[in-house]
Amino acid sequence: MFDFTTVCREFRGLVERRREVFMFLGTAFAALGLFLQNALQGGLPPSMAAISDHLFAFYAAVLMILSLILSLRMAKLHSGIVINGIFFAHLMQKQNFTGKPNIERSGRHNFFSVSFLQFVLVNLISAFSTTILLFSLHVMPTIALLSGAGIFLLWLLLYLYFHMTGKRYAIQRITGDESPTPTHEEWEDHISQCLQQSTQALLAEVAFAGLMVFSAFEALSGLGQIKAGKLEFAAEDVLLFGPIAFTIFMVTVCTFQLVIYIRTYVAIGKFCLSLDPNDRPYRPLQLSDSFLGYVTLAALFAVSFHMLVVVMIPTVNDDSSLHLMMDLIAFGVALLVYQITLIILAWLRHRRT
């Protein structure tokens, strides 16, 4: 038999741990960016000459080990979320209100879930750092790129394996179970706490994007002040390819965070409607706190896109008006995606009612 309170507490605890793992990676990346900047300027003491001589290998190895472990941990946390999600759906089957969770749907993999999107982002960082490490060890570029892609695919397969294993285990556990039906008050308390947790997650997504983007800025500022004389790469290669790698990284992180933010807000809307069917959480063109948080992410995306264009297409640097137009387009597209999502969700909600 299952205890509803225990299942709900475990589910929320897993979501909270997943968020903390995600934020830890952002903090570690920021600290490594500061370390890289100081080291490139020759700020390490003579006793750490061995690190100075293999700076990019050290940086990439630390980031690779962290991201590989954390992405694997997020995959395991996702498995736990799947298990407790199925337990929750099972316990709610005897409730008579509409919209109760479906067991099959609870175990189905969603490629737009927050768990999967966060895992993919961390996994991409693993592949990125693996590739940089192999480049710094003078491995052939083709092998380095294939190794990074191989790491990404292997960890993705492990994630899907953990998902299927968790689903299979949960289905076996609930077969023939006759646990008591939770009360409406217990269910309402769980939904209220999930709503509060999801609202806090919106702030965490903005904070994570800020950490990653500004730490990338920190690393970029150090590339132009290289003073160390024994790097694995020629200084010209670092100055040429370093900005490209970091700006692509910045745009990728911001793009994922925009999608994760929208996905989290969709969940918030569902929680609001569960507690109050007359609520209207998907109203477009509302200057809400959630929307302003998304605007912050959109601004970070526009800045990152601006940096990428500057690096990839140097000829546009001669036209400041073209710069401004591209920034406004990137910012506007991000905001438009958010508003269109709200309009579609509001329309679907109206159709169901």
pLDDT of 99 > 70? The answer is no
The 10 Å Cβ neighbour count of residue 337 is 15
Most confident of 28-42, 45-59, 252-266: 252-266
Q: Which of 239, 84, 80 is nearest to 174 (CA)?
A: 84
Instruction: Please give the DSSP secondary-structure letter assigned to residue 43.
Output: -
The model's pTM: 0.90
pLDDT mean over 216-222: 78
Q: In which band, very low, low, confident or very high, does the pLDDT at 168 lie, cut at 50, 70 and 90? A: very high
pLDDT mean over 226-236: 60
Which sign, positive or negative, has the C-alpha torsion 134, 312, 205, 124?
Answer: negative
pLDDT of 243 > 70? The answer is yes
The upper half-sphere exposure of residue 345, i.e. CA atoms within 13 Å in the direction of its Cβ, equals 20
pLDDT of 295 > 80? The answer is yes
Q: Is 231 helix (H, G, I), strand (E, B) or coil?
A: coil
Look at residue 106 in the predicted model and tell me its pLDDT. Answer: 84
The pLDDT mean for the chain works out to 86
pLDDT mean over 37-49: 74
pLDDT mean over 69-92: 93
Contact 262, 338 (CB under 8 A): yes
Helices (DSSP H) in 137-234: which residue ranges?
Answer: 141-174, 184-223
**Interior CA angle at 70 toward 52 and 19, to 5°?**
120
Look at residue 226 in the predicted model and tell me its pLDDT. Answer: 67
Please state, in angstroms and as integers, the Cα–Cα distance from residue 196 to each residue in 59, 189, 225, 270, following that order: 37, 11, 45, 13
pLDDT of 8 > 60? The answer is yes
Residue 345 CA from chain centroid, whole number: 23
Digit-coded pLDDT (tens) for 304-314: 998 888 888 77
Q: What are phi and psi of 18, to 5 degrees?
A: -60, -40
| Full DSSP string of 247-309 | HHHHHHHHHHHHHHHHHHHHHHHHHHHHH-TT--TT-SS---HHHHHHHHHHHHHHHHHHHHH
pLDDT of 229 > 70? The answer is no
Q: In which band, very low, low, confident or very high, does the pLDDT at 46 lie, cut at 50, 70 and 90? A: confident
Q: Which of 187, 160, 145 is nearest to 76 (CA)?
A: 160
pLDDT of 18 > 70? The answer is yes
Digit-coded pLDDT (tens) for 190-213: 999 999 999 999 999 999 999 989
pLDDT mean over 68-96: 90
Look at residue 149 in the predicted model and tell me its pLDDT. Answer: 94
| Full DSSP string of 26-93 | HHHHHHHHHHHHHHHTT-S-GGGHHHHHTHHHHHHHHHHHHHHHHHHHHHHHHHHHHHHHHHHHHHGG
Q: In which band, very low, low, confident or very high, does the pLDDT at 216 lie, cut at 50, 70 and 90? A: confident
Look at residue 240 in the predicted model and tell me its pLDDT. Answer: 67
129: amino acid identity, one letter: S
Let me know if 288 is exposed, middle or buried by CB neighbors in 10 A (0-12, 13-18, 19+).
exposed
Digit-coded pLDDT (tens) for 128-155: 899 888 888 888 889 989 999 999 999 9
Look at residue 86 in the predicted model and tell me its pLDDT. Answer: 92
Tokens 């927050």, located at residue: 114
pLDDT of 230 > 60? The answer is no
Q: Where are the domains of the chain?
A: 4-352
CB-based contacts of 306, cutoff 8 Å, min separation 6: 323, 326, 327, 330
Question: How many residues does the structure list for the chain?
Answer: 353
Largest Cα span, the chain:
72
The 10 Å Cβ neighbour count of residue 102 is 12
Look at residue 70 in the predicted model and tell me its pLDDT. Answer: 94
pLDDT of 98 > 60? The answer is no
CB-based contacts of 77, cutoff 8 Å, min separation 6: 14, 17, 18, 21, 115
Most confident of 55-64, 95-104, 259-268, 271-280: 259-268
